[in-house]
Amino acid sequence: MDLSRSSLKILLFLITACPQTSAVRHSLRYLYTAVTPGINFPEFTAVGLVDGGQIVYYDSNIRKMIPRVEWIPKISDYDYWNIETESTLSDQKDLHHLLHTVMKSFNHTKGLHTLQRMFGCELNFDWTVRGYNQFGYDGEDFISLDLKTGTWTAAKPQAKIIKKKWDNDPGYTVHWKNYLENICIEWLKMYMFYSRERNDPPTASVIQKHSPSPEVVCHATGFFPKAVNIFWRKDGRLVYKNVEFRNTLPNQDGSFQKRSILKVPAEDLQKHTYTCVIQHSSLMGKLVLEVPKGGGLMPIIVGVLVALVDLVAVVAGIMVWKKKNSGFKCIPASEESGESSSDKSD
């Protein structure tokens, strides 16, 4: 199995199948993946995300919960990380046990199989909350919790036995309802408070590409919080046509990066002055970069490669299964307050 190629395919699926929206203001979610042994990949991975950015990571090889952002240790002590590691280790055992149970229900005795779980909560602009606890098997919906009815929804016939077991254990469902609608929200509010202390300015570069078609790339990276605005000017006037905005992507350190691409003929670059303008809360004013008259491709290629390497670590724990009308729905990553219109349209 070509792991790197597989991970990149998953990355592309996430970008196209689960676009970010501004409907949800903030979110806290955990993504678990259990796989059958036999490949050069951890049999269990866990990723925690706040507003779509990775904050913690765990896998069955390192067997330790690791913070991915600087502000997490401020709210936790050594005992907290020990407790989190032990709790995740317990979740690892439970998910693998469930994986084997599900495999038996499908009469799967060998081969590569995955059981994926996503759970978490969302805090909307109107302060209403939403929780979810969903499972997928081999890329498709399997079973999910309906918080309104307090029952489990089986997306596959094989899930009905598990549904019956969990529905007949009201304490289990009550536990999850309380966690998703109350405890999870309290943790999210605390994470929101401490993450606001971070305010990292972007580093940016503008690169002219000649092949396969003339275009200019403006790349900003290393900024936090997520909200950013990138736009183009031609001789001081705003440019709207032939502009492409890319998704705002997370870096491994919890910061973000974003690109904007302007398609413009090479001869037009010689006649006019083009600038890329970046606005971010960490900046006293605007960051303005003038498009160089010469070419240059290597810096932007390096930036893209860094983005993919950082994202593969996150993708390892992200649950990906097909959307069904009665089952799993992609939960959009939350947008920071003040997210630019370009972000919303990605």
Q: Does residue 300 sit in helix, strand or coil?
A: helix
Encode pLDDT of 104-127 as tens digits. Answer: 999 998 889 999 999 999 988 778
Q: What is the DSSP string of 193-253?
A: HHHTT--BPPEEEEEEE-SSS-EEEEEEEEEBSS--EEEEEETTEEE-TTEEEPPPEE-TT
User: What is d(CA 207, CA 118) in angstroms, rounded to the nearest whole number?
Assistant: 39
User: What is d(CA 105, CA 122) in angstroms, rounded to the nearest whole number?
Assistant: 33
User: What is d(CA 40, CA 103) in angstroms, rounded to the nearest whole number?
Assistant: 21
Pick the closest to residue 220 from 273, 179, 257 (CA basis). 257
Tokens of 195: 């993450």
Predicted local confidence at residue 314, as pLDDT:
39
Q: At what angle do helices 170-178 and 160-167 cross, to 10 degrees?
A: 80
Residue of higher predicted confidence among 253 and 158: 158
Residue 78, C-beta contacts closer than 8 angstroms, at least 6 positions apart: none
Pick the closest to residue 315 from 114, 121, 47, 120 (CA basis). 47
CATH 3.30.500.10 maps onto the chain at 3-197+314-334
Residue 235 CA from chain centroid, whole number: 37
pLDDT-based confidence at 259, cuts 50/70/90? very high
State the number of CA atoms in the 13 A half-sphere of 299 facing the CB. Answer: 16
CATH 2.60.40.10 maps onto the chain at 203-311
Topology of domain 203-311 in CATH is Immunoglobulin-like (2.60.40)
With contact defined as beta carbons under 8 Å apart, do 229 and 278 qualify?
yes
pTM higher than 0.85 for the full model?
no
- CATH dotted code for 3-197+314-334: 3.30.500.10
Look up tokens 């939403």; give the residue: 130
Encode pLDDT of 41-70 as tens digits. Answer: 899 999 999 888 888 999 999 998 888 887
